[in-house]
Structure 1
């Protein structure tokens, strides 16, 4: 049965993504057809309609507006579906025949970069696991922040080590060659709702992995690492490259680590200690994290969660953190000012990824500018502190004033929400923009003047000049004044109670105004994209600043909690002894409303 050329194009693209719901861009909507439409209409509660596909067939169809697509994608991902986003690759008004279209990204639970699926205080990890000779290599990436970690898990008690690692990262998606233990799979699906993505074993080839890592031009830690985690990293990068259509620029640094850096706790212990969620309702409230989290920013909240799940073993590193917390606890004014500043900081890690993906709008860039303007204020507070840990943060924190100025000198204070309808670039940023904008404004003033002149000339007091996208500019006259219409008015449209006309003068001005407006909008979009490229050149600097601010936010949070709960600094050493005087359980204490928590002493050594 013959189908329309557009549907032929749809079928060609759909065959490449049979396991995905295909969002097919048609004008201002993303449409879904056939089984995808039936599935999506139920999942998203959309009205199911039909489309004539040629040959007498009508395909089930439903759609969502392009400006709200991310929220719909999030809903589909939350319900366990994969989504392929097919875009128009050329301007429909300039193309001849069928508009070129292709899939620009595939969205899965592990490859979401924005939307309701992402929790602000949690990383969204995708994991790659490789198993060989009784040992696992693991790689974890959060593409919404650009984080990439890799490790070879211990050879002793392999399954326990694997479950412990997976519990720390709670991946929303795992890439495997099919060798994962069924018990592990069941645990992941039940505990985290993890999507399992099986790929061919050849994806974990060592030589292929080396090429993938080299092509990423990523920096590597100096930490020792074995071949298994390299295979896992290679397969992960290859998968992200396929789903994100080669857009993997957000992954720049591979953090290799060993199991000797952090305190080893099995999955059962982490759950029983209620470190990040309570056993009763699997919620942050009632957990250790819930009791101590006073962070003001999303990156700070995510880093605090990571630290809680991965306690340090190195005494010197622990002491360095304690130095920062102690000084901030004692510096009350500085601590409170830093907390205030962090509450105004946006999520620069995820914002940078959105800029890379070209999904950030002009308003987003203004938010980024606002955060960058906060950095000098943060540094002013840090300048008053003296411990080595905080001094190092101050020295590594760039003000990024050049990036902030680039945005501030280009984007207007309250830019439009869309990118191709103008009102993006501030007055004075570009001479041509200013000239075109003046032409458009003068044209509108001229139209208002024409309306008044025509009312006076014709005596039609209800006459008005209007505009719509179908008929352009028009003169509307109510039918009660039909006899007063001048002979030079050309009828354009008949309505129930009025007639719409044009004149040669009106058509000429319409052409001039619309031409200026189109050129203005196109130029503003072009300038915005150039600004985006300028910002991307500083992407690593922005991410580094975000990491410094997140670490300082966590220290400030610890200090705030310590001050509020009257906590003291413990002495940490390498001995086997433990001595606690008047110790309190802060999680229990926090939930006691009218009852006093009785402090307890606890002492034991390696023999008791």
Structure 2
């Protein structure tokens, strides 16, 4: 028969029953302990020793793994980073005064989406909790909440087409955790987990629209949600209410810094779906190798965490209203033109703390003394920042300056209350400045002078008794004592009261020492308690200023972004784009903003002329490795940068507003859903063809290459015809292909134009010139690329031989008339290029001696000669 669980373990089982899906950190003395299955997970994930102690409910040895309480944050952060939920169960009464087992209860639930501690937040980027609530048929309300800053917004998405809309939102905002109703069925939860999002099922009643409405109105102190733009979005309200309630429950706090809600409507921003974000490497690399080669990494030279988050929000949601874009461009241009002000601002912002997150921690109540010190220093710099700007600054800059308060109340209070070099954590003590609280100063003096008194007492007793080795010591059991070694016991005065015998001698006390001991011991305890109380009250006072601090943080972030975009423009030679409400995209000397940073040689710029009603579709042919994909991506990135409010990497750019960028680039298998490369390609293509509008920009690279040549060419041709034939105007399209039969479409479709990338062919060597020029080519130089890739020479030689054999086989109808201009760049090695007969005859003509009829007949003959036909017909 086994004994039952101890009182402490009964507490543990009770709490664990409330949180069966979480790892429970149970405070016992100086450690947080984990038991049972939790201990196994903790030992495995944190690489710490797994031990056993006592018995579990079944009488088996209880697995045990613990971490020191003072270092727990680091261990918890690692577990949460791996997707685990951690529950903190603390001692909620003083063990010294507790009767029986110490009371314990949950003080916090830490999940991947609700982190707020600076030690656990791995980066300056936004850290979202996402909530998903079913709405109408195949429609979901979406909410995103960053608990660390108070940012809170809603949107909506369709669950159709493998939840493509929701997936795009996940890729755009990268939530760490998503909560869904317990009863939610279907493939969506698994789809989210495949994207690396921790999915937590939350009780259904929290997603009730009525309950969510009451929760949100209570939080914001309003009677309606009309002012937030989501009053008629039941699903979005349900998601927002669930997100707020979940955050409040996990944080054990009302989260007063969450003071409002934004509604993000797709029509207000350029749509960049998950596929486009991936293919264009907007925020993450296409192969997931990190963020180093992304557009965000190239543009984000901001100086503050607030600016970095704002830069990302600009980039993933470019604007579609001309006036709003122009306002941003005006702000950026002002910083371009005012170099000294820009440099001064960036230098000042370089020392700014993350005001927004500190404000969040103040509202939550866990801001450390170090947070307050850096907040004070940042706020003190605001008057100097505002003084940099004159009255001629553009509207957005003036608005940001108006939103920035000096916060003198905060700076004065922190300055009076917090020492110059405070500890990072309040529990360390010693953070309240002398003179801030008279009672604290009194206790601090008593504690300090008490220790001095002990030292003086020890010296006095040595001199009075003649015992040179006499020591005054302290332990928790006996308090202060006088220790005398055995050889000196005969010198002990009669008034000494013996307290303890040790191996080396005796320990004594006297009334004066006992009296002082009581004063010193209580002073230390009262000092610690009072300082913690004063600091907590200070945090509560500062919480009143959180909304103003949040507004200032947002304004600082905006100024930081405008200055950073201007810095890029100056540093890399970007120009201000011309924004039009038209179907044109005109780029002169355009460059890829990321690729040009990593090339050992200068980037070769290129021009682009697209028009939804004229040159709508560019069919781009040319060699592998010639630069087709880089060129097309560069055009798309220029449009995105222009509409986010940035200058662009081009000598000139006119951008007719783009409502959505579609891309189909590269080959990817979706193994998780069992879809082949070609099936993925067709699904992505279907999305483009079904949703593109005349205002869209479509990037298509090698459509149809995943199947047979005949099928692929047929699909590619049909796609071009479909995009061309949608209306009088159509989506502006860049279409790269190796199906050279498609170049004939230029003759039958009036808005299709052929282009190719120039290559210099010496016969022995191929040089990629990276320049796009009008006309078409039917050469891909695939064997040359294979050779450059290191394919064995035996293979490439054989491939070249096969290629020549195939080229020698002409169809029965004779060779096809050449339709390409690539041969203009062929180098024979002898410096002689055979002249076209039409060119020779043209040189010998004398237009002054020709009648109009003669000129017409001659023109027809020259055309036949140019096409390789008999010119005499």
Using the size of structure 2 for normalisation, the TM-score is 0.65
Q: Which is further off, 459-468 or 17-26?
A: 459-468
Q: Which residue of structure 2 aligns with residue 31 of structure 1?
A: 33
Question: C-alpha distance in 2, partners of 1:497/1:551?
Answer: 71
- 2:604 alignment partner in structure 1: 598
Q: Counterpart of 2:233?
A: 226
Matched, 1:253 2:266: no
Secondary structure of 1:581's match? Answer: strand
Q: Which residue of 2 aligns with 1:98?
A: 101
Q: CA deviation at 1:458?
A: 3.5
- C-alpha displacement at 1:147, in angstroms? 1.1
SS of residue in 2 equivalent to 1:445: helix
SS at match of 2:268: coil
Larger Rg computed on CA atoms: 2
Q: Note the C-alpha offset of 1:603.
A: 2.0
For the residues of structure 2 that align with 1:455 and 1:465, how far apart are their CA atoms? 10
Distance 2:247 2:131 in 1: 11
Q: In the alignment, is residue 552 of structure 1 matched against residue 559 of structure 2?
A: yes
Q: CA deviation at 1:47?
A: 2.9
**Farther off after superposition, 52-61 or 438-447:** 52-61
Cα displacement (A) at 1:409: 0.8
State the match for 1:411 in structure 2: 418
Specify the alignment match of 2:578 in structure 1.
Answer: 571
Q: Distance in 2 between matches of 1:509 and 1:54?
A: 48
Check if 1:216 corresponds to 2:216.
Answer: no
User: Who is 2:50 aligned against?
Assistant: 48
Determine the structure 2 residue equivalent to 1:82: 85
| Map 1:417-496 → 2, pairs under 5 A | 417-420=424-427, 422-477=429-484, 481=488, 484-490=491-497
1:264 Cα deviation after fit: 0.9
Deviates more, 1:69-78 or 1:199-208: 199-208
Question: Match for residue 18 of structure 1?
Answer: 20
1:159 aligns with 2:185: no
Listed one character per residue, the Cα deviations across residues 483-522 of structure 1 (whole Å, up to 9, x for unaligned) are 5444444555666767654433222211111222222222
Q: Which moved more, 1:226-235 or 1:418-427?
A: 418-427
CA displacement at 1:540 relative to structure 2? 0.9
Between 33-42 and 557-566, the greater mean CA deviation after superposition: 33-42
Counterpart check, 1:347 vs 2:354: yes
User: For the residues of structure 1 that align with 2:258 and 2:228, how far apart are their CA atoms?
Assistant: 17
Structure 2 CA distance for partners of 1:483 and 1:122, relative to 1, 3 Å: same
Q: In the alignment, what sits opposite 2:364?
A: 357
Q: Give the Cα–Cα distance (whole angstroms) in 2 for the partners of residues 363 and 467 of structure 1.
A: 33
Offset from partner CA, 1:85-114 (integer Å, 9 cap, x none) = 112222333333333222122211111212
Cα distance in 2 between the residues matched to 1:285 and 1:181 = 36
- Distance in 1, matches of 2:563 and 2:498, equals 70
SS at match of 1:538: helix
SS at match of 1:440: helix
In structure 2, how many angstroms separate the alpha carbons of the residues matched to 1:499 and 1:560?
Answer: 75
Query: Structure 2 vs 1, CA of residues 117 and 410 (structure 1 numbering), >3 Å: closer, same or farther?
Result: closer
Q: CA, structure 1 residues 142+458, in 2 after alignment: closer, same or farther (shift >3 Å)?
A: same
Which range moved further: 374-383 or 520-529?
374-383
CA distance in 1, matches of 2:228, 2:116: 29
CA displacement at 1:482 relative to structure 2: 5.2
| 1:401 is the counterpart of 2:391 | no
The answer to whether residue 138 in structure 2 is matched with residue 134 in structure 1 is: yes
CA RMSD in angstroms, aligned pairs only: 2.6
Whether the 8 Å contact between 1:154 and 1:259 is mirrored in structure 2 is no
Partner secondary structure for residue 586 of structure 1: coil
2:547 matched residue in structure 1: 540
Residue of structure 2 equivalent to 1:150: 154
Q: Which has the higher contact order (CA 8 A, sep 6+)?
A: 1
Q: 1:303 to 1:483 in 2, by over 3 A?
A: farther
Shift in Å, 1:479: 5.5
| 2:366 is the alignment partner of 1:366 | no
Pick one of 281, 295, 299 that aligns with 1:292. 299
Q: Match of 1:381, SS?
A: coil
- Relative to structure 1, is the Cα distance of residues 478 and 380 closer, same or farther in structure 2, using a 3 angstrom cutoff? farther
Relative to structure 1, the CA distance from residue 218 to residue 552 in structure 2 (aligned partners, 3 Å threshold; closer, same or farther) is farther
Q: State how far apart, in whole Å, the 2-side matches of 1:287 and 1:268 are.
A: 15
Residues 149-188 of structure 1 deviation map (CA, whole Å, 9 limit, x = unaligned) = 1012369868332222221111111122354652x54543
User: 1:383·1:394 contact (CA, 8 Å) conserved in 2?
Assistant: no
CA distance in structure 2 between the partners assigned to 1:374 and 1:180 by the alignment: 53
Q: Tell me the equivalent position of 2:246.
A: 239
CA deviation string 1:358-411 (max 9, x = no partner): 222222222222222122222222347611111111111111110111111112
Instruction: Judge conservation of contact 1:4–1:53 (CA < 8 Å) in 2.
Output: no
Looking at structure 2, the residues matched to 312 and 252 of structure 1 have their Cα atoms a distance apart, in angstroms, of 25
SS in 2 for 1:531: helix
Assess, with a 3 A threshold, how the Cα gap between structure 1 residues 222 and 32 changes in structure 2: closer, same or farther. closer
Q: Report the Cα offset of residue 121 of structure 1.
A: 2.8
Residue 192 of structure 2 corresponds to which residue in structure 1? 188
For structure 1, which runs of at least 5 residues remain unmatched after alignment?
A: none
How many Å separate the matches in 2 of 1:459 and 1:418?
Answer: 46
Q: Given the alignment of the two structures, is residue 9 of structure 1 paired with residue 20 of structure 2, yes or no? A: no
- How far the C-alpha of 1:480 sits from its partner, in A, is 5.7
Secondary structure of 2:552's counterpart equals helix
Partner of residue 200, structure 2: 197
Query: CA–CA distance in 1 between the matches of 2:480 and 2:38?
Result: 41
Query: In structure 2, how many angstroms separate the alpha carbons of the residues matched to 1:375 and 1:503?
Result: 60
- 1:333/1:438 Cα in 2 relative to 1: closer, same or farther (>3 Å)? same
State the match for 2:845 in structure 1: none
C-alpha distance in 2, partners of 1:484/1:34?
59
Offset, 1:412? 1.6
Corresponding position of 1:170: 174
| Cα distance, 1:20–1:434 mapped onto 2, change above 3 Å | same
Contact 2:130-2:145 within 8 A present in 1 as well: yes
The aligned counterpart of 2:341 is 334
* CA distance 1:102–1:456, change in 2 (3 Å): same
TM-score for both structures, normalised by structure 1: 0.92
Whether the 8 Å CA contact 1:218–1:254 is kept in 2: the answer is no
* Map of 1:308 onto structure 2: 315
In 2, the alpha carbon distance for the partners of 1:428 and 1:420 equals 20
Structure 1 residue 351: Cα displacement: 1.6
Q: Distance in 2 between the 1:357 and 1:260 partners? A: 35
Q: Distance in 2 between matches of 1:70 and 1:481?
A: 51
Deviation at residue 324 of structure 1 after TM alignment: 1.1
- Aligned-pair CA distance for 1:290: 0.9
